[in-house]
Amino acid sequence: MSQLIGYARVSTADQNTALQLDALKVAGCEKIFIETASGARQGRPVLKEALAYAREGDAFIVYKLDRLARSLSQLISTVNDLKERKIEFRSLNEAIDTSTPAGRMTFAIFAALTEFERDVIRTRTKDGLAAARAKGKVGGRPKKLSEKDLAVARVLLSADPPLTFSEVARRLNVGPSTLYNYFPTNSRPGHKSYSDTPELPLEA
Active-site annotation, residues: 11
CB atoms within 10 A of CB 59: 21
Q: Which residues of 157-186 are buried (b: 16+ CB within 10 A; e: fewer)?
A: beeeeebebeebbeebebeeebbebbbeee
CB atoms inside a 10 Å sphere around CB 117: 13
E strands, the chain, are 4-10, 31-36, 59-62, 88-91, 96-97
User: What is the rounded CA–CA span in Å between residue 141 and residue 152?
Assistant: 22
Give the bridge partners for 32, in sequence order.
6
